[in-house]
Amino acid sequence: MNKGIMMWINRKLKGTRDESGFTLIELLVVIVILGILAAILIPKIATSSDEAKKSTCETNMNMIESAAQRYYFDNDAYPALGDLEPDYLNQTPVCPFGDLYTIDATGNVNRAAHAH
């Protein structure tokens, strides 16, 4: 018999293969691992985004309240939010949640739900 044919028969009997690549099982294992990692990381990313929005909102409210106090010292009355521009605020801050900021009669700043 030919030596090449004998080698081919030996490979087939031993179950060795010449093909390169991944088996379906290997691909499924990788996909499952990636799914598990995504399930762990996505909630943490979403939570940190909400925390950043809350922090931005609080900072905006403190800045508006500070400007309202300065307005009060100059005018002996608390302003409406629009009265603060441009002398006390360069630009009215935008709520990251889409809500509107309001200033009450005592100078406190509140976040009012935005009518969609």
16, with CB counted inside 10 A (0-12, 13-18, 19+), is: exposed
Give pLDDT, residue 48.
78
**Domain parsing of the chain, residue ranges:** 24-112
What span, in angstroms and rounded, lies between the C-alpha atoms of 104 and 114? 17
Distances (CA, A) of 78 to 26, 74, 100, 112: 68, 10, 18, 18
User: One-letter amino acid identity for 52?
Assistant: A
Structure tokens at 101: 């900021």
pTM metric for this prediction: 0.56
- CATH top-level class of 24-112: alpha beta
User: For the residues 49-60, what does the mean pLDDT come to?
Assistant: 85
Tens of pLDDT, residues 59-105: 888 888 888 888 888 888 888 878 778 888 888 888 888 888 888 88
Q: Compute the CA torsion angle 40, 97, 52, 37 (nearest 10 deg).
A: 10
